[in-house]
Amino acid sequence: MKKLKKKSSKKRVISSAIVLLFTTIILTGTLWTNASKIARADINTIDNLQHQIETLSGLNYSPKDIRKIIEMTNKDVSFYIVNYSDRIVIGLLNAKDEPEDIREIKINNSNN
């Protein structure tokens, strides 16, 4: 009887450990996937953002509207952006969330 209890308790411990391991793996994978959705911008992304800003500027959007559109269409990317009445400044964010590779894009027609 004691051997039977020992075997069943060992099986429970092993089963619990396996369930805990799988749960941990699944949870870690889910967290990793969600965390990686917001990616840091790279130079190609900044080039693309600059092109989008220049295109929107050519269509006579105001700096405020351009910033809203850029932020809405690039919400999965972390980047630096500041709008002024005559220009928009964009850049990469480094590991300390400080801007680098800053680019200033002149706005042709500002419609405030």
10 and 46: one domain?
no
Residues 6+ apart with CB under 8 A from 94: 100
Say whether both 8 and 49 belong to one domain. Answer: no
Q: How many domains does the chain have?
A: 2
Give percent of the chain with pLDDT exceeding 90: 34
Shared domain for 44 and 92, answered yes or no, is: yes
Considering the domain architecture, whether residues 92 and 60 belong to the same structural domain is answered as yes
Task: Give me the percent of the chain exceeding a pLDDT of 70.
Answer: 83
Q: What is the pTM of this model?
A: 0.61
Same domain, 97 and 86: yes
Domain shared by 54 and 22, yes or no: no
Pick left, alpha or beta for residue 45 (phi over 0 → left; psi -120 to 50 → alpha; otherwise beta).
alpha
Looking at the fold, whether 15 and 58 belong to one and the same domain comes out as no
Mean pLDDT of the chain: 82
Q: Are residues 22 and 48 in the same domain?
A: no
pLDDT tens for each residue of 37-65: 566 778 888 899 999 999 999 999 999 99
Same domain, 80 and 48: yes
In a domain, 111, yes or no: no
* One domain for residues 68 and 101: yes
Residue 1 has pLDDT above 80, yes or no: no
Residue 100 structural domain: 39-106
Residue 112 lies in a domain: no
- Look at residue 110 in the predicted model and tell me its pLDDT: 45
Q: Mark whether 14 and 60 lie in a shared domain.
A: no
DSSP codes of every residue in 37-51: HSEEP-HHHHHHHHH
CA distance 88 to 98: 17
Span 61-86, average pLDDT: 90
pLDDT digits (tens, 9 = 90+) for 4-45: 566 677 788 888 888 888 888 888 877 776 655 566 778 888
With a cut of 50, say whether residue 96 has pLDDT above it.
yes
Closest CA to 89 of 77, 80, 98: 80
- Residue with the larger pLDDT of the pair 76 and 89: 89
pLDDT at 112: 45
